[in-house]
Structure 1
Amino acid sequence: MVGQIPKETCPRPFLKWAGGKSRLIPQYKTHFPKQYKTYYEPFLGGGAIFFHLHPPAAILTDINAELITTYRCVRDQIEELINLLKEHQKRHNKDYYYDVRAYLGGSNLEKAARFIYLNKTCFNGLYRVNSQGKFNVPLGRYKNPNICSEDVLRAASAGLLAAKIKQADFTDVLNHATSSDDFVFLDPPYHPISNTSYFTGYNGTSFLEEDQERLRDTCAELARRGVKVMVCNSDCELVRKLYNQINFKIYPIAASRSINCNIKNRGMIYELLITSY
């Protein structure tokens, strides 16, 4: 009998990512389409759904240029990247963290190593930039952060080999997904459920109500073509209204929130999983 594949050799996210979907996959499983040929993820982030599904073909995009550079280096230059991360691991301390955070130069490979290093050592793995586009998350409280997970990185590299990776706005998916052979998973910045929950730091701009409407229109066009569409978002009146207007199916999903400035607002909440099929 063939034994199970060791967990560390299975492709899985190599980044910590606020709002990542790894813990929600058990609730998502029954909603994934049974058949498709090409997978699209226009808000790539940590890529938990991509790594879980391990599709035969994929187009992965995100508006975050540094994130896309990092994914490409993981796919194409994994051993060189690991060597740079080992150097970060050796030199890590408080002063070093802030020196690396302040440095914006270097090759794409050096930028990718910087991105992963900061991700593994900053507060809660949060990605946030200021209005000048500079990463500004403080050092996290970790005694011994695992900056270079070699097995995880190599497995992720193997999992990405068949994927096309590029920087693009989410509407770029309309240039590629055209039929029922395509499956598009969209994990956008969530619409705020309170006046204090706007998250504006992902690329220096906000994802506003008009962007949510633009996303809805993109989903409607994809569905018109027969593309299988899955969207997740916050459980709020606006989101329900937008997707009821195009007759998508809406499912409540229980999720745990761990990042909130008010500790009383942490814990179990509901969000929405929305499908065209």
Structure 2
Amino acid sequence: MLSEIHMQNLPRPFLKWAGGKGRLIQQYIPYFPSYFKNYYEPFLGGGSVFFYLQERQAPKAFLTDINAELITTYRCVRDHVEELIYLLKEHETQHSKDYYYSIRTTIESTELKKAARLIYLNKTCFNGLYRENSKGEFNVPMGRYKKPNICDLSNLRLASVALQSAEIERRGFEKVLSSASNSEDFVYFDPPYYPVSTTSNFTSYSRYAFNENEQYRLRDVFVELAQRGVQVMLSNSDTSFIRNLYKDFHIHTILAGRAINSNAKKRGKINELLVTSYSIKDYC
């Protein structure tokens, strides 16, 4: 077991992200392939799985997402972390309600400023939720944090080191078909979840909605990769729709926490699904 001191020296996600897998990693460990050379994560988000695997297995990583500002931020953490830290310290010094809403409407001119803006808003907005309106504008209200950790110096530097060998690009999930080709490749899909009810239909982390048709497209990509022998894993909601989509594969149940709900009483434990193209007994 890793010591507490060692754990403090491991990189963690530098962004809070709806549906982030940080608290689920321990349940995921038994389902990760025992061997692979290349790791692909087409729905990058907070990158919890990447940071866990990078420290322990150090695969060549290919990290992608459709969110342009998210990809810009990862690249800046990888390539310009000290300049980014300088800008974040400025945000930290000036943080207030008026400042938050001023920055929320600001259109930054450089990639570094865009990255610092995203991290600042992410650390100070409601629940770390990333949401855009139809115009691509970030529209989440400010959270109620007394002392938000806007500039986490140590972790940003650790994350920068972990990202040094990663290729980071803005791409749709289906583009993974042009790269992953055999059993030495491991692809993890963490898409916007299929809603478990009409009131939980949050699938738009960007202006691009992830609807039912997208879920079908993703399933088809999963099937194509599996047929190539690629090791594929996918997380999604525990619904009859998702179970039916992936009925030909190995479906595992994960106990997760539901943190985002305006009604605190409706937050709590809920089942999620983890789908693998491979049988776990083959990897023990």
Task: Give the TM-score, by structure 2 length.
Answer: 0.94
Which one of 126, 143, 163 corresponds to residue 123 of structure 1? 126
2:275 corresponds to: 274
Measured in 2, the distance between the counterparts of 1:53 and 1:197 equals: 30
Q: CA deviation at 1:9?
A: 2.3
Alignment of 1:215-234 (within 5 A): 215-234=218-237
- Alignment deviations for residues 36-59 of structure 1 (CA, whole Å, 9 cap, x no partner): 000000000000000001133100
Measured in 2, the distance between the counterparts of 1:200 and 1:37 equals: 31
Measured in 1, the distance between the counterparts of 2:219 and 2:203 equals: 20
Q: CA deviation at 1:101?
A: 0.4
Residues 146 and 179 from structure 1, CA distance in 2 versus in 1: closer, same or farther, beyond 3 angstroms? same
Q: Secondary structure at the match of 2:131?
A: coil
Measured in 2, the distance between the counterparts of 1:216 and 1:240 equals: 11
Q: CA deviation at 1:266?
A: 1.4
Measured in 2, the distance between the counterparts of 1:86 and 1:265 equals: 36
Work out the percentage of aligned pairs sharing the same amino acid. 60
Q: CA deviation at 1:197?
A: 1.2
2:186 corresponds to: 183
Q: Secondary structure at the match of 2:261?
A: coil
Q: Are 2:48 and 1:45 equivalent residues in the alignment?
A: no
1:174 corresponds to: 177
Corresponding letter in the other structure for 1:183 = F
Corresponding letter in the other structure for 1:71 = Y
Q: CA deviation at 1:213?
A: 0.5
8 Å CA contact retained: 2:41, 2:63: yes
Q: CA deviation at 1:198?
A: 1.2
Q: Are 2:207 and 1:204 equivalent residues in the alignment?
A: yes
Q: CA deviation at 1:200?
A: 4.1
Unaligned regions of 5+ residues in structure 1, if any?
none
Measured in 2, the distance between the counterparts of 1:113 and 1:9 equals: 23
- Alignment deviations for residues 80-109 of structure 1 (CA, whole Å, 9 cap, x no partner): 000000000000000000000000122000
More displaced 10-residue stretch of structure 1: 204-213 or 221-230: 204-213
Structure 1 consecutive aligned stretches of length 4 or more whose deviation exceeds 4 Å: none
1:97 corresponds to: 100
Q: CA deviation at 1:115?
A: 0.3
2:137 corresponds to: 134
Measured in 1, the distance between the counterparts of 2:70 and 2:144 equals: 23
Unaligned regions of 5+ residues in structure 2, if any?
279-284
CA RMSD of aligned residues (A): 1.3
1:112 corresponds to: 115
Measured in 2, the distance between the counterparts of 1:209 and 1:115 equals: 28
Count, aligned residues: 274
Measured in 1, the distance between the counterparts of 2:230 and 2:168 equals: 20
Alignment of 1:67-86 (within 5 A): 67-86=70-89
- Alignment deviations for residues 3-30 of structure 1 (CA, whole Å, 9 cap, x no partner): 8753332111111111100111111100
Q: Secondary structure at the match of 2:187?
A: strand
Which one of 142, 146, 165 corresponds to residue 168 of structure 2? 165
Alignment of 1:50-65 (within 5 A): 50-54=50-54, 55-65=58-68
Measured in 1, the distance between the counterparts of 2:228 and 2:19 equals: 29
Measured in 1, the distance between the counterparts of 2:170 and 2:208 equals: 16
8 Å CA contact retained: 2:194, 2:203: no
Measured in 2, the distance between the counterparts of 1:261 and 1:143 equals: 20
